[in-house]
Structure 1
């Protein structure tokens, strides 16, 4: 069990942000997402400093799909970072939070006309364009609203990032971006610069998620800078921004060995500097988009243990009052986590148990064969490193209300998102 940020064990009880997990459960109930605000802010500042956003005018963009609420938008803005959104809902969240629209990058492989028009009306800074359909549609709506819209083209670089098949987005066979085969990238560049209501400011690429190795990023830098030079030679057009995406891995379980924020950033910057010199070209503004590595280790989820079932000589199950509705990643990706009994972190008596969720699905198993202190109904289970893709992928399967989200810092807690009620769950339904 590895603790991050402000997490501590005091009197055999897990504390986060100076607040006891027992106290949090008594006040807010379970399941409960708990976010360490101090750790999130520290990660923002480390990225900003290591990627030299002040000295070199580079940009760090928080990938909102990892975890986005009104309060999270406020934190990102206060820390001076930009924000990427991938849907109308995420864009609307940013807008309602007061986030500066000029600092938004709008991603997605199938933005609807309604989403595009909303973004143009909100005066967002940049679209990251994924296909020829979007080029034409954004230009059409920019003409309608008499605006010149900044765009980046998403390129599929074909780099193998050694990650899970479902979260590998940089290979040639991908639903994302323009391939570099058959001059598709160059054709997209020429189409954009031929439209008077679009301004091509940059290129974007993303090679995958949960990546521990630095080498794929170095390959990415070299490939993309060579592409920028070839675009200049072919068209005379200068690309001003190079967005290298995110995907920086974090620690989830024993054996994971992610690089430090500073290591990723320094290696990317040095490679870009050296490659630009070798190519005898000006280095564009560099951009990265961390999401998981900003918030993943900053979150834990607290559950209450309910039924306990022992199948002799087979397996012992302990069921929690949550599961794939608040963390679907184990079912989707076979994701693994570390955990603890938050109200009795250490005990002489240990047992191997599997943690099952309450959904009516045999695959709703959150943790398989983990060693924990002997547990009892009513104990509090803490699952670590759930700050990314827990809340954002939560759902109402079996009509289970979504969990609350609280932030903790300096001994205080506050609600970021209230717990859903049954009335919330059926609020959009109509009885004839």
Structure 2
């Protein structure tokens, strides 16, 4: 009988040991022994060699998803007689090795800070294939982008026009720019066709766009590439994209009268399955629906179809990653709370909100499995929690685990390739975990885990009182 504490979307599994391709990396499976392996490498081997918590990336899955994103979006664009630039949204997960994969696979990359720009450049991608975002770019960040030859800087406010023009003029460069437009559509809600979504920090209002485009065009050191939109993240329905794209194309047509507008950037936000109950549409579904409305609107407006740009990040990185944890304490907690008495199993692990902040930030739901072995025990409703001094320190809010889960078992949490390492932190002075790529039976450390010495590296009192000891050792 299902636990009454379980949310309505969570079904009690028929097989608590199942590894469903819906959420796990494509090279994750159970061995005959019951242990989980990723790309031929067992979780026990990974935990022994690198420790836990541990971020694990199925490298071939990441590469395949990046390639699929590029090919799917470009193919959809070709169907309507145009081409598509595909940018990897690096805020999802970024390292210089990831940049090298993206570069090799022929995608562009977008960044949202000076640090991300530095990582992209250090990873070896040509600056012309980088797009720089941000609602408050510093003069240093703008200058660095212009110097490097970044292909596009996304203007987020009127003040940035003068700042970018000044930096480009000082270097006698022509800087490509896009203008981010707040179309009034925000698909993080069910109200996809809302017109009252202007109350946010990103983008410029629809009514202000013509004057801002004229101002951009007045600067000889700026090249207006077109408009940019981003309507939200983790989107499952296409209606928001369709409505926002219609509004953006109307602006596109209006501004063609004053000069060339070669492209339109339709952003990202394509959703993925985080839990077994999710049913995210395919990327092809989004691509075909969005490009169809582009073709339809351009025909209705009597304008050529522009070049398109897209920015998938989570869709590429998220499902290719998982996180391994070691189980510590376990509590069966009886919950009454106005309901018939029921028990929720609290399973504490050696990480938490320092390696995955999304449940605490957004009440995000994840899927977990017992990874070090299979079990014949009945599934029990569990909540996987971290070791931080916070009641909201939850890793997996609602899922079923075998009733015999015990200390020192390994758990794997699916779809942690995006916005987990990126949001990791040192709360309670926990060290950030390492990141390992697995491929063809081999594992490779791509980001080392932090040590306590790293935690004290910028602590000047510690360095003054203990630094000489470290030098001697």
TM-score by length of 1: 0.94
For this pair of structures, how many residues does the alignment match? Answer: 426
Q: Provide the C-alpha distance between the structure 2 equivalents of 1:85 and 1:322, rounded to a whole number of angstroms.
A: 28
Q: Secondary structure at the match of 1:33?
A: strand
Matches of 1:253 and 1:370, distance apart in 2:
9
Deviation at 1:390, TM superposition (A): 0.4
Deviations 1:315-372 (A, max 9, x none): 4322111000000000000000000010124433332222111111111122234210
In structure 2, distance between residues paired with 1:345 and 1:170: 50
Cα displacement string for residues 103-151 of structure 1 (whole angstroms, at most 9, x for unaligned residues): 0000010011111111112111110110011111111111122211110
CA–CA separation in structure 2 for the residues paired with 1:25 and 1:293: 26
Describe the shift of the 1:376–1:131 C-alpha distance in structure 2 as closer, same or farther (beyond 3 A).
same
| Aligned equivalent of 2:202 | 176
Deviations for 1:17-55, whole angstroms, at most 9, x for unmatched residues?
121111111111100001111111111221222222695
Show structure 1 runs of 5+ residues with no match: none
Q: Aligned match of 2:312 in 287, 290, 296?
A: 290
List per-residue Cα deviations over 1:201-258 (Å, max 9, x = no partner).
Answer: 111001100110122212222221111001123xx22211100000000001133111
Is 1:2 the counterpart of 2:20? The answer is yes
Unaligned residue ranges in structure 2 (runs of 5+): 1-18, 336-342, 465-473
Alignment of 1:123-202 (within 5 A): 123-163=149-189, 171-180=197-206, 183-202=207-226
Task: Specify the alignment match of 2:233 in structure 1.
Answer: 209
Measure the CA separation in 1 of the matches of 2:195 and 2:330.
Answer: 40
Per the TM alignment, residue 411 of structure 1 is displaced from its structure 2 partner at its CA by 1.3
Instruction: Tell me if structure 1 keeps the 8 A contact 2:180–2:228.
Output: yes
* Structure 1 position 312, deviation (Å): 4.8
Taking structure 1 as reference, are residues 169 and 94 closer, same or farther at Cα in structure 2, changes over 3 Å only?
farther
- 2:411 maps to 381
2:329 to 301, 307, 330: 307
In 1, distance between residues paired with 2:195 and 2:45? 41
Higher Rg of the two aligned structures: 2
Q: 2:104 is matched with which residue?
A: 78
Q: Which residue of 2 aligns with 1:252?
A: 274
1:351 aligns with 2:377: no
Q: In structure 2, the residue corresponding to 1:310 is in which secondary structure? A: strand
Is 1:428–2:458 an aligned residue pair? yes
Q: Pick one of 410, 431, 439 that aligns with 1:409.
A: 439
What is the aligned partner in structure 2 of residue 360 from structure 1? 389
Whether contact under 8 Å (1:323, 1:365) holds in the other structure is yes
Give the superposition deviation at 1:74: 0.6
Query: Partners in 1 of 2:421 and 2:383 — Cα distance?
Result: 22
Distance in 1 between residues matched to 2:375 and 2:344, nearest whole Å: 22
Change (3 A) 1:162 1:389: closer
CA distance in 1 between counterparts of 2:84 and 2:168 reads 27
Alpha-carbon distance in structure 1 between the residues aligned to 2:301 and 2:455: 57
d(CA) in 1 for partners of 2:398 and 2:188? 26
Other-structure match for 2:59: 37
Alpha carbons 1:170, 1:206 under 8 Å: kept: no
| C-alpha distance after superposition, 1:88-115 (max 9, x if no partner) | 1100001111111110000010011111
Stretch of structure 1 that moved more, 224-233 or 320-329: 224-233
- Aligned with 2:245: secondary structure? helix
Q: How has the CA–CA distance of structure 1 residues 208 and 191 changed in structure 2, closer, same or farther, with 3 Å as cutoff?
A: same
Which range moved further: 333-342 or 38-47?
38-47
**Aligned 8 A contact 1:163 1:211 in 2:** no
Q: 1:16 to 1:396 in 2, by over 3 A?
A: same
Counterpart residue number, 2:349: 320
Residues 188 and 233, structure 2, Cα contact 8 Å, conserved in 1: no
Is the Cα contact below 8 Å between 1:170 and 1:208 reproduced in 2? Answer: no
Using the alignment, how far apart are the partners of 1:364 and 1:51 within structure 2? 38
Cα distance change on mapping 1:230 and 1:9 into 2, 3 Å: same
Q: Deviation of residue 59 (structure 1)?
A: 0.7
CA contact (8 A) 2:94 2:422 kept: yes
